[in-house]
Amino acid sequence: MAWMGKRLLAAAALGAILALAGCHGKDDQDDHGAPVPGGPLVPDTGSVAPTEVRMTWFGISNWTFKIGKLNILMDGYTTRIPQDYFSGGGGGLATTKAAWPIDKAAVDRLYGVLKSGPGGPVNLLITGHSHFDHSFDTPYWAQITRAPIVGSRTTCYQARALAVPASQCIAVYGGEKIVLNQYVTMRVVRWNHSGSHETNPEQHDPIELQKVPTPDAAGNLRGGVAEDFPNGGGNRGYLFTITTPNARQLTFFVTNSGAPQDLDTDSITDGINYGKPLDSLRKAMADAGLPAVDVWIGAGGQPVAALALPILKPKAYLPNHLGSFYVPFQLGNTSPFNDAALTGYLAQSNVALVPPNQYLDAWVLDADGFRQVDNAQMKQAYSF
């Protein structure tokens, strides 16, 4: 559902796209998946008004957002494809030697840890973009949680390739307003990926898969960004608004990549102009009636922050996309946050910088503000 009023034509265009997708048979490779629902996507999670948002980070841009009975998992990449499998392209990630399996044992172990505390059961999956270090494990998360997926068309195609039903994945393009339950609404923002067309086009340019990829004989996909895992039309940001029992609203925005040079230029994928990412953010904020957000979980450093901060006006900023996607998950975070330019810019802007330090760090946003909380129970499972 796109914005109302002056944006009616945009909504009609989006509806036409979804309607065309729905005209194909369930197994047709042009079918993008389930349409954006007209009612709550996860209605069973809205029986009690939430009092807080608990955010748990577990590497790269993996998060759980616990909002009352609603447990959202973002990305969830736990598998590790060896670095020497990748080659080519501006970023060295274009192609791989061979397909690689999802590390199901690692995902199962992690899900067990999340369920042991306030991180499960997961009942919604979202992906920011569709590179291997974000959506590679999403098909298996979908199988073990049976949760719906919200992400790019590419994410939906990747999931379908590994036997996830098309009806379990909702492809979003930016501008959608998705009511998750009676207290929580998620607005989708069209965003971009880091890098540039000149330096790493296969990684940066907004590219979608054109059909469901074909797994190898063992049922595995190839992780290269010019193979089965392009970014999925750039990136998606998600703006959350949460109504608490006292009618106070909690708000946060999350992105997991970004580049300054084309945030303010039209995003064109497959010949469709989706507009400027910064305009998509402005429209989402206006539709939600927000002059500012409580928290921005963001990526792209000071150059991206300088463009988006004046729109979001967050009270706190959590750097996203940290750590290595080659180092085994059980070793934890080996790449602490270190960005002097961003640190200085946020200080000048009076925005609190709250960098994650170790996998399974957790924070709470509630009526009293935003703060880090103890998460020793989960961390003990990995000796973090």
CATH of the domain at 75: 3.60.15.10
- How many domains is the chain built from? 1
Q: How do 272-273 and 95-96 pair as beta strands?
A: unpaired
Question: Please, what's the b/e burial string for 117-144 (b: 16 or more CB within 10 A of its CB; e: otherwise)?
Answer: bbbbebbbbbbbbbbbbbbbbbbbbbbe
State yes or no: pLDDT of 200 exceeds 90. Answer: no
Q: Give the residue-averaged pLDDT of 14-22.
A: 36
Q: Give the residue-averaged pLDDT of 279-286.
A: 99
- What gap in Å lies between CA 240 and CA 243, rounded to an integer? 10
Range of the domain at 11: 5-380
pLDDT band at 376 (very low <50, low <70, confident <90, very high): very high
pLDDT of residue 195: 76
More confident residue, 32 or 178: 178
- Summarize pLDDT for 302-343 with one digit per residue, the tens: 999 999 999 999 999 999 999 899 999 999 999 899 999 999
CB 323 within 8 A of CB 60: yes
Percent of the chain, pLDDT > 90?
Answer: 83
Q: Give the residue-averaged pLDDT of 253-261.
A: 92
Q: What is the pTM of this model?
A: 0.91
CB 24 within 8 A of CB 153: no
Among 76-85, 109-118, 176-185, which is the least confidently predicted range? 109-118
State yes or no: pLDDT of 19 exceeds 50. Answer: no
Give the amino acid at 274: Y
pLDDT of residue 119: 73
pLDDT of residue 365: 98
